[in-house]
Structures are given as C-alpha cells and as structure tokens.
Amino acid sequence: MKTVLITGANRGLGLEFARQYGAAGYRVIAACRKPENAVALREIPGVQIHQLDVDDLASVHALRRALSERAIDVLINNAGVFGNLGADGNVDYDLWLGLYNTNALGPLRVVRALLPLVLAGEDKTLVFITSTVASITNASSSNHGYRMSKVALNMLVKCLSLDLVGRGVTTLLFCPGHVQTDMGGPNAKVAPVDSVSGIIRQIDASTIVDTGRFRDYQGEDRPW
C-alpha cells in the first residue's frame, strides 16, 4: 500500500486530496493545525490525522517523531495562506512576513524534516502547490505579498529539484487553477474535485524526467 502525506488537509484542496487518495487505496496521512476540529477529515475511512503547523518548527519535528520511520511515497505541500495585500497604502510588514513564512518557509521546514521518509518510499515524489499568479512572466499589479511568497516557493522547488534529482526524487510544482475553496471564493471557475483529480493524474504520469517542471492542474507547462 502506498502512502501519501498532505499538509493543510482539513479543508479546501488538502481535504480533496485526502478524499481522492483515500478512495484510490492509499494510506493517507492528513496533517492539519487543529485535528480536534477536522470533522470532514474524520469521515474519510482509514485516514490518519496528525497535528502540523508548518510555521512552527517544533510542530514539524513532532510530526517527524510521530511518524517514526514510516516511508512516504508522495508528500504534498499544500498548506498555504492568501493575503489581499498590494504595495500601495499602508504595507503591514508583519502580514507580508507571515505569507512568506507559511507559503515559502513552511514547505522548506516540512521537506527538511520528512525527506528521509520520502527517500525511504518507493515513489520518492515531492509535490508543491503554488499559483500561476507567481509567474514573473505573466505578473500583474495586485496581491504583491502573496505573489512574492509563492515566487519564493517556486525558487525553493527549483533548487530542491536540482539538489535531489541525483537521489531519485521527483519534485513537482502545480498551480491548481482558480478553485472554489475558502481561499478561491465561491465564484472561482474550477471545482476542487476537478483540480485535484487533474493534479493527481499529472503526479501519477510523472517520472524523474519531469522533475522541476511547473504545470497547471491540466498538465500545461506554466511560465516561471
């Protein structure tokens, strides 16, 4: 049985990843900030729920200890935060640092702690959820703080793909589209079920040759 670990698994895209991987017969390790409130997650048969705040190194290390030596085939770095913050008016630097801390440093903390478990897995696949709005080629003038945090994530993913290709790790970066979640809002075009099934299809079809690619949920390469 293959194992997937998903961060931010209690709602939105993370919850949908947990549902679809559970239905596909994976052992699902679902990580979230408040397991005691994760009502929807508990409805997924067989799911193992663990506490994880990606901002908090102690929480990340506690998860590593709780997992012991369990191998992870696919690690999905999904947890993220949005801030509707442009560069005009009053910039709240603490909020901008918060976006960077969760969206860029959070996945770094998780990967550094859990990499040995991924290396022990059969698939050795690292997945990161970014956004097309982080494309510098297609930049527009809004939500600067969020874009900057995801650009930093994109660079982290590129670096990791180079660092880890020699150890057989496939490192993949996806934009999920504009999806109907708390973050995407009710008017988003894409349903979570379609976004996540599209990303899982790309993950399943990927090999080490695809490491370091930036694609959308339909498999189209995105400009950096």
Ligand X SMILES: NC(=O)c1ccc[n+]([C@@H]2O[C@H](COP(=O)([O-])OP(=O)(O)OC[C@H]3O[C@@H](n4cnc5c(N)ncnc54)[C@H](OP(=O)(O)O)[C@@H]3O)[C@@H](O)[C@H]2O)c1
Whether 14 and 200 have beta carbons less than 8 Å apart is answered as: no
Structure-token pair, residue 174: 């996806």
Options 22-30, 49-57, 156-164, 211-219: segment touching ligand X (CB under 6 A): 49-57
Options 20-28, 74-82, 116-124, 215-223: segment touching ligand X (CB under 6 A): 74-82
Q: Does residue 21 carry a catalytic annotation?
A: no
Q: SS3 for 156?
A: helix
- The count of residues interacting with ligand X (CB under 6 A) is 31
CB of 112 to ligand X, least distance (A): 15
CB of 156 to ligand X, least distance (A): 13
CB of 62 to ligand X, least distance (A): 13
Q: Does 80 bind ligand X (CB under 6 A)?
A: yes
Q: Whole-angstrom Cα distance, residue 24 to residue 27? A: 9
Q: Whole-angstrom Cα distance, residue 38 to residue 6? A: 14
Q: Does 75 bind ligand X (CB under 6 A)?
A: no
Please pick, from the candidates 4, 5, 28, 52, the single residue that binds ligand X as defined by CB under 6 A.
52
Q: Whole-angstrom Cα distance, residue 12 to residue 155? A: 25
Start-to-end CA distance of the chain, whole Å, equals 35
Q: Does 78 bind ligand X (CB under 6 A)?
A: yes
* CB-based contacts of 122, cutoff 8 Å, min separation 6: 2, 71, 73
Strands 48-51 and 125-129: unpaired
Please pick, from the candidates 3, 102, 135, 211, the single residue that binds ligand X as defined by CB under 6 A.
102
Q: Whole-angstrom Cα distance, residue 185 to residue 128? A: 21
User: In the complex, which residues of this chain contact ligand X (CB under 6 A)?
Assistant: 7-8, 10-14, 32-34, 52-55, 78-81, 102, 106, 129, 131, 175-176, 178-179, 181-184, 188
Residues marked as catalytic: 146
